[in-house]
Structures are given as C-alpha cells and as structure tokens.
C-alpha cells in the first residue's frame, strides 16, 4: 500500500469513528426535540424563528472558535434544524390531534 493510500485509509477510519459519535449525538438531540414537542402550544412555537436565529448565531461563534468555517457550519445546522422542525411538527400534530 502506498503512503498516500495508507494515509487516506487512516483518515477514513477516523472519519468513520467521528460519524459514530455524531450519530449518537444526533439521536440525543432528536430525543430532546421529541420531549419538547408536547410542550409547545402551536405551530409558531414549533418553528421558533427567534430560537433558530439564536442557535445559528451560537454555532457560528463556536465554529469560529474551533477553527471551522462558520458558513459551512451554519448551512449544516440550518438543514439539521429544518429536519428537526419537520419531525417535531409531525410529533406535535400527533400529540395534539391537529
């Protein structure tokens, strides 16, 4: 195996390890979102645009502090947040009977 191939194999193994950690963290986040759904009174509370803005601002700062690209992190978070809002909307409707 060439040095380049070996390095790539090692990098991929570390990425796979991180993916395992990220999926575990996403599962924990999902569980918390599901717990929040019944506590919200209406669709506006589920969408919570002020909270979304707060989270995005916070993760942009965290990304900058960590040496990551804040724009990239924001795009990832906005996509993730939208998926969780969609899931929470379904959960909220199921629980409220709307």
Quick one: the chain helix, strand, coil %, rounded to 5? 90, 0, 10
What is the per-residue pLDDT across 25-77, written as a single tens digit (0 to 9) for each?
A: 999 999 999 999 889 888 899 999 999 999 999 999 999 999 999 999 999 99
Mean pLDDT of the region 77-88:
96
Locate 83 and state its tokens.
């998926």
Report DSSP state, residue 39: G
The lowest-confidence range among 9-13, 29-33, 84-88, 91-95 is 91-95
Global pTM reads 0.88
**Residue 29 contacts residue 84 (beta carbons within 8 Å):** yes
Locate 90 and state its tokens.
């379904």
**Residue 21 contacts residue 14 (beta carbons within 8 Å):** no
């Amino acid at each position: 195996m060439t040095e380049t191939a070996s390095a790539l194999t090692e990098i991929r193994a570390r990425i796979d390890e991180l993916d395992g950690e990220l999926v575990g963290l996403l599962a924990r986040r999902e569980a918390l979102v599901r717990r929040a759904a019944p506590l919200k009174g209406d669709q506006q509370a589920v969408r919570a645009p002020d909270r979304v803005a707060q989270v995005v601002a916070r993760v942009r700062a965290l990304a900058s502090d960590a040496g990551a690209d804040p724009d990239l992190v924001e795009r990832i978070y906005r996509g993730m947040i939208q998926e969780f809002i969609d899931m929470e909307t379904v959960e909220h409707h199921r629980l409220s009977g709307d």
